[in-house]
Amino acid sequence: MKVIKSVSLLAVGFAAAAFCSTAQAQNKQAKNVILFIGDGMGHAQVEAAVFQKYGTKRDDQGNPPKLSFEKFPFLGYTTNFSSDSFVTDSSAAGTALASGQKTNNGVLGVTPDGRKPDTIADIAKAQGQAVGILSSVGFNHATPGAFFAHSDSRNDYDEITSQVFTADNPADVLIGGGIYSKTWTDDLLEAEAAKNDIKIFTIDNLNDLTPDKVGKSRVLGYFDETNNKQLDYITSRTAASREPRLVELTTRTLDLLMARADDKGFFLMVEGGSIDWACHANMAGPAIGEVLEFDAAIAATLEVLKQRNELENTMIVVTADHETGGLTLVGPYKKTLEQAPVQYNFSSTNHTGIPVMVWAQGPGAQTLNGKNDQTHVFEAMKAAITPQAGMGR
């Protein structure tokens, strides 16, 4: 009996050791972290884009058609209520994703008890990493703002802009589709930027947004040409449109970050902000166009990382801050997509409380599996760039 018992204990010991080493291997540190936020991008918005682009035909392996990030190995979903509302807004949700803290709707980077928590961008900077924050809407809008600013009101856009110049751990690259401003003129921005060794990029010098032209300076970019404070919907562009696409700004930002990150890696947040705006307006076509543009930015990112041999080192998380519009796909019923197009129904012109999906790959990504709150996205990213002793999540 004694012998058998010791053998079985040994076996248990081996099994535990094997599990431990597997978990440790999966939990190895990420050199780079990229967080893609599709603002308002519920699961219906994603699949509407899939069905528009690919229909229902299976691929050669018999799999249903997938966007780039739907091929990631880890999949979860998150609740997203705020401190004071079951249905969140982008500032409370952005704060939860950026710093792991719940706050009230309308508040940016400040907790209900008045704390200003560090963001994942702060943590990355403190470790010597390069940081980029990129959005297809205003750089001082709620979602990008949650990664660098602290304000009792998301609508205090001028204060949020001034924090670009006063932040303790400023982003190396901060780019939006536009800027919300009451008092910040181009000249004022230019003067403040010059004092802080920041180079400003607009549609007129976009081609200079390259590592050799930027050098060691920080970057502030806003590229709105039509004064709608966003990159124009991809579905409304004409041949004369000069505004860059989100996919171009994403690859340019990656180039800048990789040129200045050295061996320490980088953190990048990319927001597809116009998905939300289209869904508030209950416009399915533009919303789908923006999901596909968001997907193109992710696909291009995967390609750049692969070419630079950085794919294995990079944790990539794709999620939404909340769903917008209560979108459902109600038809066609008793017809195929070959016979009739998808029929959409929006049940709201605001956000909804539906949990949103999380797709993830790379070191640390497995901890995003299953059901979590969106604050866990911050915890998972933080754990991936700050190695902890021990196993598990």
Residues that bind Zn ion (CB under 5 A): 276
Question: DSSP string spanning 340-381?
Answer: S--EEEE--SSEE---EEEEEESTTGGGG-EEEETHHHHHHH
Provide the minimum distance between the beta carbon of 279 and Zn ion in the complex, in angstroms, as a whole number.
8
Question: Would you say 276 or 293 has its CB closer to Zn ion?
Answer: 276
- Rounded Cα–Cα distance for residues 248 and 69 (Å): 18
Provide the minimum distance between the beta carbon of 139 and Zn ion in the complex, in angstroms, as a whole number.
17
Question: Would you say 42 or 100 has its CB closer to Zn ion?
Answer: 42
Provide the minimum distance between the beta carbon of 324 and Zn ion in the complex, in angstroms, as a whole number.
5
Q: Which residue has the tokens 């597997």?
A: 22
Question: Would you say 209 or 291 has its CB closer to Zn ion?
Answer: 291
- C-beta nearest to Zn ion: residue: 276
Question: Would you say 192 or 276 has its CB closer to Zn ion?
Answer: 276
Question: Would you say 271 or 295 has its CB closer to Zn ion?
Answer: 271
Provide the minimum distance between the beta carbon of 313 and Zn ion in the complex, in angstroms, as a whole number.
33
How many angstroms separate the Cα of 326 from the Cα of each of 57, 87, 332?
A: 26, 12, 18
Provide the minimum distance between the beta carbon of 94 and Zn ion in the complex, in angstroms, as a whole number.
11
Alpha helices in the chain (DSSP H): 2-26, 43-54, 90-99, 120-126, 142-145, 157-166, 186-195, 211-214, 246-261, 274-280, 284-307, 375-385
Question: Would you say 276 or 290 has its CB closer to Zn ion?
Answer: 276
State the amino acid at position 169 in one-letter form: N
Provide the minimum distance between the beta carbon of 45 and Zn ion in the complex, in angstroms, as a whole number.
13
Question: Would you say 39 or 192 has its CB closer to Zn ion?
Answer: 39
Q: Exposure pattern of 17-39 as b/e (b: 16+ CB <10 Å)? A: eeeeeeeeeebeebbbbbbbbbb
Q: Which residue has the tokens 């998380």?
A: 317
Sheet holding 356-361, edge to edge: 198-201, 218-222, 173-176, 130-135, 266-272, 32-38, 314-319, 356-361, 74-79, 370-373
Provide the minimum distance between the beta carbon of 320 and Zn ion in the complex, in angstroms, as a whole number.
11
What is the DSSP code (8-state) at residue 273? T
